[in-house]
Amino acid sequence: MPPTTYRTADVDGFKVFYREAGPKGAPKLLLLHGFPSAGHMFRDLIPLLADKFHIVAPDLPGFGQSDMPSRETFRYTFDNVAHVIERFTEVIGFDRFAVYVFDYGAPTGFRLALNHPERITAIISQNGNAYEDGLSDGWTPIKAYWQAPSPANRDALRGFLAPEATRWQYTHGVPDPTLVSPDGQNLDNFYLARPGSDDVQLDLFGDYKSNVALYPSFQNYFRTHKPPFLAVWGKNDPFFIPPGAEAFKRDNPNAVVQFFDTGHFALETHAREIADSIRTFLTNTAARP
């Protein structure tokens, strides 16, 4: 099993922590995590793919071991998060790569694709949304904050940051919750409990509306460039529902969509099955003329 190394990159003064594995000359694969997690969510997936792919999994700004500067010195918007990650790929020499996007990783990765479509060799979306069809009713309180960003509506979202909410995200929709290790959710809760983290996350909840505003641009990218596309979806996700996965085929008819009987954090229960799908997909992609 190829080893995983743990590194930091200086991105214009911003420290980005990342996991790296696989042969340096192999096809590149960038893994982008979501809320409230970090690159550790890929701990089971990376060893299953590192024999054939050069894998990098950064912690997004404000998450995990990457820098979490004060809100006075860094505006926590998805545009800014994507800018840091785009510069990160340039700093580490990821010039052409496939990208795996999950949750917050999706609007981050899709921005990279919009800015530099020539760099993207393929996209794997695991519960990473780009269509209003995919937004469940669970977004209602967050949408209320978008429409009226009052202190009361902001405070109403603090429940999403509670430890029990993290556990619910990990276990909801999982037929056998005993298969879900507590380690990932406990580490997420550790990061969420850091001073200042709650307001960082609330800022990102508020700015998520910018992602929805970009959905038409993301969809136009899929129509125009038709990147090789694989959607591997936990079908019981309480936030990003199956119609969001099926919608990719509207704009990219060659997209492959697969559902798994699990929830939002599909890798917690189906890492091997998803790894097998990715390996087959990327191998077939590389073989295309």
Q: E-assigned strands of the chain?
A: 4-11, 14-21, 28-32, 54-58, 97-101, 120-125, 229-234, 256-260
Phi, psi of 37 (to 5 degrees): -95, -155
**How many whole angstroms separate alpha carbon 228 and alpha carbon 254?**
7
Cα 203 to Cα 155, 166, 197, 210, 266, distances in angstroms: 11, 18, 10, 12, 26
Out of 33, 54, 172, 264, the active site residue is 264
Contact of 57 with 31, CB cutoff 8 Å: yes
Catalytic residue flag (residue 264): yes
Cα 129 to Cα 32, 125, 134, distances in angstroms: 13, 8, 6
For the chain, give me the number of helices (H) and strands (E)? 11, 8
Residues facing 108 on adjacent strands: none
The reply to whether omega before 36 is within 30° of 0 (cis) is yes
Contact of 148 with 240, CB cutoff 8 Å: no
Within 10 A of 143 (CB to CB), how many other CB atoms are there?
15
Catalytic residues: 264
